[in-house]
Amino acid sequence: MSSQFQLMGEKRFRPFFFTQFAGAFNDNLFKTALITIVAFNSASMTSIDGEALTTLLPGLFILPFFLFSATAGQIADKFEKSLIIRYVKIFEIAIMLIASSGFFIHNITLLMISLFMMGMHSTIFGPVKYAYLPQHLDEFELVGGNGMVEMGTFVAILLGQVMGAWISSMHQHEILTSLVVLTVASLGYISSRNVPNSPASDSRIKINWNPITETYKNLKFVWKNQTLWLAILAISWFWFYGATLLAQFPNFARETLRGNESVFIVLLSVFSIGVGVGSLMCEKLSKGKIELGLVLFGAIGLTFSGIDLYSSGSNIHENFNNGTTINYLSFLTVQHDSHGQLSLAYLRLLADVLFLGLFGGIYIVPLYARIQSKCEKTHQSRVIAANNIMNAFFMVFSAIFSIIILKLGVNITKLFFLTATLNLIFAIYICLRDPLYYKSFIKWISGHFIRP
């Protein structure tokens, strides 16, 4: 069995990997730069309140997933995939030209249109991205291949967000942001030209351009196959959990930990690194098989890490509040608590965030591989499109859930505790719906940790 890292040396995987990496990086760099610029300079661009805009902008990016995912799935199944990838990359360059114009003339309308269109770009690319892998990888390579893609995606998200925030804080941010996003989009297109031919899954499809009826049709098709439906539901739950954490990290860093922006960046970085490491570990942990036991293992880890994050965060808030704001250097060292005792509280909290990411990566990779292996070849892209619709719905529901809970007076650490508890309930639900998850977990645990 070849290692997942050996895939990077092969033409069937390497150009695709770098193409999707560049797209995820650019999405997040542009989105973060725009939100940061609006948050601090909205008065020079529009009369709309900056806080209202920063709330609206992420919604603009997610909206296309609801509107166009069903159509994107049909297109990805009907046409040759490498051609779609190249057209998507050309579309990205055009979007970045519009965005650059918006930055230079300080036109918020152009920038909002660009953000919506980048959401379209990701919506179209998503079904191609995950349907491409089973066409070019053997089944025993799916776990490793998905692990590499998930690792690359989260590293790209991290780098894009950090660079976007950094560039937008600079004096000539219009020029720098425009140059970077155009350069990355161009590099993505160059890489896409080497993506190998990927034949259409079903060229006979007659595309239904009505997003409402086609979305219903997609979800109905997946519902009939409960194996796929349950895997999609489990993936969407991960995005609910992750979105709840990541959306609250800025306020958690500022209000609970008394940290500045650098502390938020540390939390985001550690979480993303954790997801990347967990994703890469899946191949070794599963020995190249699609191991459902890892899903329950990851879910249990997510629950315990989330509960301990509540405990460590509450401890820091109560015992390390001396009225000063700390930076990342203070956060990464051993501190004295309010009683003058040396404490590893900050490092414990970082370990919680790292393990949340790590167990998240272990949890999600086998689920993507299961969808790819169990789906009919003629419907793979449309099933992935249905998955993207559900993911978007759960992320929106996560935002609504968090707003309601926080409005009720529950603090952020207790929100994390509640989400971790709900995660355990969801894991039990998955096992009740399909006993194969816990049976595989018991078998996997016995094979790895219980010696005869």
Query: Domains plus CATH for the chain?
Result: 1-223 (1.20.1250.20), 226-374+408-452 (1.20.1250)
pLDDT above 50 (res 316):
yes
pLDDT above 50 (res 335):
yes
What tokens appear for 241 in the block? 């959990």
Asked if residue 231 lies in contact with residue 116, where contact means CB atoms within 8 angstroms, the answer is no
pLDDT above 60 (res 336):
no
Q: Which of 315, 313, 343, 311 is nearest to 330 (CA)?
A: 343
> Among the listed ranges 32-41, 61-70, 220-229, 329-338, which one has the minimum average pLDDT value?
329-338
Asked if residue 354 lies in contact with residue 271, where contact means CB atoms within 8 angstroms, the answer is yes
Q: Residues 345-384: pLDDT tens digits? A: 888 999 999 999 999 999 999 999 888 888 887 788 888 8
What average pLDDT does the chain have?
Answer: 86
What tokens appear for 71 in the block? 């159509």
Name the DSSP letter for residue 253: I
Angle at 198 between CA 194 and CA 202, to 5 degrees: 155
Region 417-438: what's the mean pLDDT?
A: 94
Name the DSSP letter for residue 199: -
Region 140-156: what's the mean pLDDT?
A: 86
Q: Residues 279-299: pLDDT tens digits? A: 999 888 888 788 889 999 999
Region 212-237: what's the mean pLDDT?
A: 90
Region 411-438: what's the mean pLDDT?
A: 94
pLDDT (0 to 100) of residue 106: 82
